[in-house]
Structure 1
Amino acid sequence: MLHGSKHCGVMIVGPAGVGKTALARQVLSQAATTGDRTSWFVGTESARSLPLGAFTGAISQDMCDPLPSVRRLIDSFVAQQHQRRSMIGVDDAHLLDELSAHVLHQLAQARGVRLVVTARAGGAAPDAVTALWKDGLLARLDLEPLSAEATRAFIEQTLGGPVDSRSARRFWKLTGGNALYLQQVLKDQIDGQRLRQVAGVWMWDGDLAVSQSITDMVGSNLDRLPAGPAMVVDLLSQCEPLDVDVLCDLVSREDLEAAETLRVVTVERDGSRLQVRLAHPLYGELRRATAGEMHLSGLRGRLVERLSSNPDDDLRATVRRALLMLGSDLKPDPQLYLDAARAAMTLLDPHAADRFAAAADECGAYEAAPMRAMALLLLGRGEQTETVLAQISSEGRPDAHRWATLRAANLTWMLGRPRDAAVILEQLAAEPESESDRAARLAIQAGVDAVLGRCEAARDNARAAIASGLLPDYHAMIAAVALTMALGALGEVDDLNEVATDAIDRAINSFESSQTRFWYGGVYARACRLTGRIDECVRNAKQLADSARDLPGLAQANLAFLLGHVELVRGAIPEAVGLLHEALAGVETHGGSTGLRPASCFGLAEAHGKLGQAEEAAQALAQARQWVPDDYVYMQTNLSLATGWAMAAGGSLTEAIAAVRAAATEARERHQPTHELACLQAATQWGDTSGAARAAELAAELRLPLADAVARHAAALAANDGAGLLDASSKYQAIGDRVTAADAAAQAAVAFSGSGQGKRGLYAAAVARQLATDCGGICTPALRHPAGQPLTQRQREIVEFVVAGLSNKEIAKRLVMSVRSVEGHLYRACQRVGASSREELAAIVRGGFRG
């Protein structure tokens, strides 16, 4: 350590619990493994009053007089250094007595040993200890609390698997990045079975499990608080922050000042206001877990009465008053519950909104059932929503038309029954309607049309509904979703940005549609991908991610899907896998009956397929097929592409190409030109040359850079034109599609090599290799096809099965040929690539352009 440095060691400084001791012990442990002599001493409060108290274990019986003991103690350590290199660790040096501190300082000056010292930041320490770093004897290392990223890394290392981002942030906020607290809180949640693994992702979605260990570690000083400061802590444990004026109406100012002096609360200035918070988030958790419910219920009631005397500052204030009311000993306030339900939905918390609406319903509030229906709809609880809406629709309410349209929306999007929804809408159309009623019906009808793949009808009905200017917020979002799906499928991009901006801006401040902005973001990202507007896709996703933090439930799952889809589109494949697994875990945890589950599985099948992970891709595809409703026509292209990528990863290239070619034909029949284009692009990536003519027609029809790139790609592949393939790769890179760019470059390398243009082939291979690396190590069929050693189509097909792990007998069965024929093709393939065995052939092909 510190070889060649002017320092003889290091002083690790930081607040309690950040890992100073662990780091120092690790340094000594590593020194011991190299044969160094190591010694460990600890400063403690109990030994602070004793001369040389920290070094008691190193003092022999004949060292009785303190001053001679100091000299002889120092000499003994220096003598050890002469025998072999030694390192001394001193923990909590700020607690050393003066003589122990003097010994430590003298050892540093003598430079006879190497030192690793820890000290508490901000605490009083002997001058001799402070001088260690001030005089340059030891290098000072300031150890800060763990960052959010480091906290997540620690959790994932401990759990041996990924943790969802919201759970990781919760751990970080709760522990303040304190490594000691984090370790114990994480252990408590594991022991208390609060953490569970869903879809391969660890999630913590319940309350906090509190052990005696964390109570002793963090809350021991809470148990010793006088009654007044303890009351301050208890009030803040139920509601923080609180203004000083509010708090001082409930406790005395002297008690608040005492709590601040005891460092259990902090007082901060926010403009002209003074606000009080608990000094550590765990204080509140501990009090909520250990205090009596009767006591806390009374405190909540007192807080509600005091907070109700002033108007709420914002929506959050309304929500927190209602939450306090729910757990208090006061008489329920149904109007407060209804106001809070609207506020909670605007703040992206439909779980809280459902609680408030249910509480208002228990009080007999007339608007409670519709409010609860809206909350359940946003939670994705389709069956419960259908039950409540069916009841409302039968009550003869004056606004029955609106609730009937919402029922149709729920049937379409949450329950996967668009044809049942169409029946309801037909019945509404047959009755007299106001202009606003008609607009609302057209908005939901547009959604039904979009789901059933009727793109022109979806576009026209959505435009008419939006143009009326009469839509409620939720209906406006459904119309925007339908219009965006239709425009993306039709390749009509002129006003796509405007539709997205209007939809998101309106949703942000709406209690009905605030949460749906993330769902809409995923729909818009898909439209951007279909039309080759990847930069816009990335920009919009970032804007939505920045619009809210720490999202609950399905909102977080939708955001994770959006971000995962964007990473998939731009070619950050491993990152996409992590986010899409998080989205799938979120929807499985919260039980939403939405299209988010199959959409996440589509993305995972494609991502794993691009990484060459056949088994994982097949598993994701199987889940997707399980959750796609029969009438979800709009998902069929995605399902076919996911099927193709899973097949390609498993070596079944012929079947993969056939699947997407059939999907292209179906998309053409439905007049979904960009869906057809996506299928032709995938087939071309897998080596299919039959789509060149149709790709050229689509390029002329759509007039999109993406369509031009696909047409160039398909034509060049059909002509075995290396330069054309390299040009197509550049076009894909300009759009932002790095995966297809890598495939086109790999195909260019093969074409160049086959035509004797070795240098150009090497260049194209280098381009493919770099792009593959940038995409996280993708392993697509094109990248597995070695340049310079081209295989025949049949050989390549058989080798793909070898890479996927199939035996010769299994390959023969798949291709309806004899085992001997398979062996012959493999023998000739080995000769072409210079492999001496089946295994070596697979390794060479698997490496491809990544080697």
Structure 2
Amino acid sequence: MVGLWPVLDRRAAFRDAEELLRDGKSCGVVLVGSAGVGKTTMARELVGSLTGDARWIVGTESTQNIPLGAFAPHLARTTSRDPVVALRAVRDVLADDGLAPDGGVGIVGVDDAHLLDEFSAGLVHQLAVGRDARLVVTVRSGAAVPGAIEALWKDGLLTPFVVQPFTREEMDEELAAVLGAPVERFSADAIWEESEGNPLFLRHLVESALDGGTLRKSGGVWQLRGRPGISPALASLLESRFARTPQDALDVVDYLAFCEPLELEVLSELVSRRSIEEAERMDLVRVRDVGHSHVVRLAHPLFGEVIRDRTGLLASQRIKRRLVEVLRVSPDPGVVTSMRIAELAMESGVEPDCDLLVRGAEDAIAMCSLEQGARLAAAAVRLGAGFDASFALGRALMWQGMGVEAEAVFAAVDPNDLCEYDVARWLLTRVANLYLEAGRPRDAVALFERERGRITDPVLRVSVVALDAVLHLYDRRLDGAIALAREVGAAPEAHPWARSSAVFAGVAALTVSGRGFEVGALAASAWEAISHGDGLLRFHIGYFEVQALTVVGRLSAAQATAARYRDLAAGQPNSAALADVASGIVELMGGRLNDAAAHLTEALAVLDRETRSEWVLLAAVSLCQVRAAQGRPDDAATALAIAERHSGPELAFFDPLIDIARAWVVGASGEVSAAAQAARRGAELAAASGQFAVEAIALDVATTFGDYSTTERLRDLESLVDGPFAKVASARARALMKADGPVLDGLAAEFERVGALIAAADTYAQAATAYSRSNDRRGELTAAARAHWLASRCDGATTPALAKAARPLPLTDREREIAVLVGRGLSNKDIARRLVLSVRTVEGHIYRACEKLSLSHRSELAKLVQV
């Protein structure tokens, strides 16, 4: 990686410094910043922008105690031991050698001026006072500085400028330039937290992560899994901060390296207040007000990496044992502290308390920290902790999509050894895992029917009803799923797991069946329950909540809800990925195609795996539509292949979405007849299971691709689907069938008003085509202009309707479709097979298209038609 790191142009922030150096308003500048922030790079950029030879002086620790040590290379012309004579000789050498070509003063760069000896610092001060050279000086912030150097800016001789770390945007730009592809948001967050924007730290962290294999590319996105690690060079740089640190202050750093932040009161139980004050004075730690208490954390996250790497095994175990002792007795440690105590106990060198591990695992699962939950639960299982540990381990594996591994854990449990409460937990979770994650729906249903009789307690039977609701949902019995969900919701004694599971089933069923107005209240009822259960379930509910809001036309609310779920992801890859899927839907509807693609691509990179996953399927079908709208049919086909790979009998509930995705793929390639057929097939599947909202979406897609026989069914759906979508889809189908430009214009304006910009652009394009057929040239041009302006706002959206409006060829829809296939290089025989037509009919269409366009051969038609 060395040599591949570009230097971002940050000179815009120092335009004033360049101007000062050029026009002589100041004899120089001082660049102040922390180690590795880029002071030297910036200084060399500034010097390089000036005319004249530069002389560089560098302060080092090895010459700090030697008089004029930094100027030793320039002392060769004098043998005098008189410091005054030596100073004058060096000053004359610098002034003469540094002259600019025009005879003006030269340029002297002084790097790390805080490390200069007093004589060298005095000489730099003299150069500034005498204006013998233009000076560019760098100083490390927080370091002790010789008085003569400090006087440079205190006396106004040089102008100080603070060199800031990268902004987050600059860091993302730097990473993309170096790695050649974007870094997923979650991983970029982790790198940002570790580097704090320091360019040098950033470079070492990324190179170390690449060398260690923790930073790797997946699905076109870079992902960081695990800590990036710290290179020897960076460790050496950071360890210099601790070389002269008193042991008392180092003790503070040691404890924080293994557990930060710590409340000041807790840390004071481990070290003295005076030690904390000393560490703070040396800028090793920072103390901040948080609520009604003070918390202490390391001044930079990488300090912890260095301390942990240099601390021996026995010492680290001693520190962790002491942390566990103090943290365990703190009142109500809370979820996060519980997880930290469990981790520390597991690594303390003594056998940890099993209850501590199980509680930590449960808290980690609730917080969506699934890998940590699995690790703690597995440790408890190895220590013989019993069913609670196995139950936590199985759930942690299940939520990571490791259904086969989770089933092995659940299958090892003998229900005859369990109380009825534990039987209920075991059965319900094992059935859900078998059905959805292990891909064995028949075995799941058989197990459920065989074992559900074990649960007789009225309170526990509510949980059985909740699971039954989920099974009804995936078996596409939506009315039953909704009824069972309502039954659980009405039971005050329902367990949190039962309540949240039932809410998921009810919200999903209500959304797809078109009862979107009922979703919000039901989703809200799950929040308290979810806080006591598996945290990842909230994102399953959130997806359908966002979907319902988009269908009922409340796009602003959908966007706010998606943002809320992203905030709740709390930096966990799996939960962040699920939130990204919901965000992708909203961004797509709003026409923000690049943002939608980024969300969905990141989600797929995290979620894609060998076992079937409904979330991969959902992300892929949405990405398929995004790529189609971007005019990238090959990429859309790739996304469709991912969705198809993750479909199966247990996920037949989502089959209509697969067909809608197929419609977008073939439609983006110009095969509008095949697109309409795929959409109609999806509509039929949706109708058969009562998914009326999905049916309306599928029929609208079919209409978009020229199937106007959808009007009658869409009219029926107006009364079955909440919100304006079905009504607008019905009106658009009728207007397209009649080629009614003004009505399409009005519908497009309504789409634009609510923020559905892709739909608005498409409908304006269809209005332009309708105006063209009625020879309304003014209406055609106005609608087409509006369509393409909106398409440009949608990151250059390209759909068949927009392409048709952009090139209004005098062809029928069938002639245009065949012309497109000719343009793609298909033979007449291939076209006939694909469109289920005779070869003679295809030849006739090509002949008439060439006649209309005054073309003499099909090859000329192929060149003319572009999709």
The two structures have a TM-score, normalised by structure 2, of 0.86
Distance between the aligned counterparts of 2:137 and 2:852, measured in 1?
63
Residue matched to 1:378: 399
Match status 1:264 vs 2:284: yes
Residue matched to 1:213: 233
Deviates more, 1:772-781 or 1:756-765: 756-765
Distance between the aligned counterparts of 1:459 and 1:246, measured in 2?
49
Match status 1:522 vs 2:581: no
Q: How far does residue 186 in structure 1 lie from its aligned partner after superposition?
A: 0.6
Q: How far does residue 396 in structure 1 lie from its aligned partner after superposition?
A: 4.5
Distance between the aligned counterparts of 2:437 and 2:570, measured in 1?
25
Q: How far does residue 391 in structure 1 lie from its aligned partner after superposition?
A: 3.5
* CA shift digits 1:351-384 (9 cap, x unpaired): 2222232233233333322333333333332223
* CA shift digits 1:691-741 (9 cap, x unpaired): 223222322443521112111211111111111111111222234321111
The letter for the 1-side match of 2:121 is D
| Aligned with 2:623 (options 571, 591, 604) | 604
Distance between the aligned counterparts of 1:331 and 1:499, measured in 2?
45
Residue matched to 1:713: 732
Residue matched to 1:849: none
| Aligned with 1:39 (options 38, 48, 54) | 54
| Aligned with 2:361 (options 320, 341, 351) | 341
SS at match of 1:197: strand
Residue matched to 1:770: 789
* CA shift digits 1:121-175 (9 cap, x unpaired): 4556578866877788877543322233332332222111121112111111111
Residue matched to 1:579: 599
Distance between the aligned counterparts of 1:136 and 1:711, measured in 2?
74
| Aligned with 2:413 (options 392, 397, 402) | 392
Q: How far does residue 662 in structure 1 lie from its aligned partner after superposition?
A: 1.6
| Aligned with 2:496 (options 457, 473, 477) | 473
Deviates more, 1:697-706 or 1:456-465: 697-706
Deviates more, 1:347-356 or 1:62-71: 62-71
CA separation of 1:743/1:479 partners in 2, compared to 1, >3 Å: closer, same or farther? same
Residue matched to 1:410: 433
SS at match of 1:203: strand
Q: How does 1:484-633 map to 2 (within 5 A)?
A: 484-507=507-530, 509-510=531-532, 512-551=533-572, 553-588=573-608, 594-633=613-652
The letter for the 1-side match of 2:537 is T
| Aligned with 1:461 (options 484, 489, 492) | 484
| Aligned with 1:99 (options 112, 123, 139) | 123
Residue matched to 1:441: 464
Q: How far does residue 498 in structure 1 lie from its aligned partner after superposition?
A: 0.4
| Aligned with 2:256 (options 227, 236, 239) | 236
Residue matched to 2:375: 355
Q: How far does residue 529 in structure 1 lie from its aligned partner after superposition?
A: 3.2
Q: Is 2:320–2:347's contact at 8 Å kept on the other side of the alignment?
A: yes
Q: Is 2:374–2:393's contact at 8 Å kept on the other side of the alignment?
A: yes
Q: How far does residue 827 in structure 1 lie from its aligned partner after superposition?
A: 4.8
Q: Is 2:566–2:579's contact at 8 Å kept on the other side of the alignment?
A: yes
The letter for the 2-side match of 1:713 is R
* CA shift digits 1:33-58 (9 cap, x unpaired): xxx54535244146677888767778
CA separation of 1:524/1:758 partners in 2, compared to 1, >3 Å: closer, same or farther? same
CA separation of 1:398/1:250 partners in 2, compared to 1, >3 Å: closer, same or farther? closer
The letter for the 2-side match of 1:568 is L
Distance between the aligned counterparts of 1:436 and 1:593, measured in 2?
33
The letter for the 2-side match of 1:448 is L
Distance between the aligned counterparts of 2:853 and 2:221, measured in 1?
41
The letter for the 1-side match of 2:195 is T
* CA shift digits 1:416-475 (9 cap, x unpaired): 444443333434566773433432222111111211222111111211122123322222
CA separation of 1:370/1:193 partners in 2, compared to 1, >3 Å: closer, same or farther? closer
Q: Is 2:748–2:763's contact at 8 Å kept on the other side of the alignment?
A: yes
CA separation of 1:184/1:824 partners in 2, compared to 1, >3 Å: closer, same or farther? farther
Deviates more, 1:808-817 or 1:191-200: 808-817
Residue matched to 2:302: 282
The letter for the 1-side match of 2:576 is Q
Q: Is 1:554–1:587's contact at 8 Å kept on the other side of the alignment?
A: yes
SS at match of 1:445: helix
| Aligned with 1:153 (options 158, 170, 173) | 173
Distance between the aligned counterparts of 1:750 and 1:372, measured in 2?
59
Deviates more, 1:788-797 or 1:689-698: 788-797
SS at match of 1:486: helix
Q: How far does residue 205 in structure 1 lie from its aligned partner after superposition?
A: 0.9
Q: Is 1:531–1:674's contact at 8 Å kept on the other side of the alignment?
A: no
Distance between the aligned counterparts of 2:716 and 2:290, measured in 1?
63
CA separation of 1:4/1:301 partners in 2, compared to 1, >3 Å: closer, same or farther? closer
Q: How far does residue 521 in structure 1 lie from its aligned partner after superposition?
A: 0.9
Match status 1:741 vs 2:764: no
Distance between the aligned counterparts of 1:432 and 1:294, measured in 2?
50
Q: Is 1:237–1:288's contact at 8 Å kept on the other side of the alignment?
A: yes
Q: How far does residue 218 in structure 1 lie from its aligned partner after superposition?
A: 1.5
* CA shift digits 1:760-783 (9 cap, x unpaired): 222212221222122221111111
* CA shift digits 1:254-304 (9 cap, x unpaired): 655554444433344556655432222112112223322222122212222
In the alignment, structure 1 segments of 5+ residues that lack a partner are 847-851
Distance between the aligned counterparts of 1:378 and 1:690, measured in 2?
43
The letter for the 2-side match of 1:730 is A
SS at match of 2:419: coil
CA separation of 1:321/1:631 partners in 2, compared to 1, >3 Å: closer, same or farther? closer
Q: Is 1:695–1:707's contact at 8 Å kept on the other side of the alignment?
A: yes
Distance between the aligned counterparts of 1:728 and 1:692, measured in 2?
16
The two structures have a TM-score, normalised by structure 1, of 0.88
Deviates more, 1:782-791 or 1:764-773: 782-791
Distance between the aligned counterparts of 2:193 and 2:457, measured in 1?
51
Deviates more, 1:216-225 or 1:329-338: 216-225
Distance between the aligned counterparts of 1:237 and 1:524, measured in 2?
41
CA separation of 1:446/1:380 partners in 2, compared to 1, >3 Å: closer, same or farther? same
CA separation of 1:431/1:307 partners in 2, compared to 1, >3 Å: closer, same or farther? closer
The letter for the 1-side match of 2:335 is L
Residue matched to 1:178: 198
SS at match of 1:17: coil
Deviates more, 1:629-638 or 1:604-613: 629-638
Q: How far does residue 74 in structure 1 lie from its aligned partner after superposition?
A: 4.3
The letter for the 2-side match of 1:404 is L
The letter for the 2-side match of 1:760 is G
Q: How does 1:254-333 map to 2 (within 5 A)?
A: 255-270=275-290, 273-333=293-353
SS at match of 1:691: helix
Match status 1:162 vs 2:162: no
Distance between the aligned counterparts of 2:321 and 2:477, measured in 1?
55
SS at match of 1:277: strand
Counting matched residue pairs gives 829
CA separation of 1:54/1:689 partners in 2, compared to 1, >3 Å: closer, same or farther? farther
Residue matched to 1:369: 390
The letter for the 2-side match of 1:573 is L
Q: How far does residue 751 in structure 1 lie from its aligned partner after superposition?
A: 2.0
CA separation of 1:392/1:629 partners in 2, compared to 1, >3 Å: closer, same or farther? same
CA separation of 1:783/1:116 partners in 2, compared to 1, >3 Å: closer, same or farther? farther
Distance between the aligned counterparts of 1:417 and 1:42, measured in 2?
72
The letter for the 2-side match of 1:656 is A
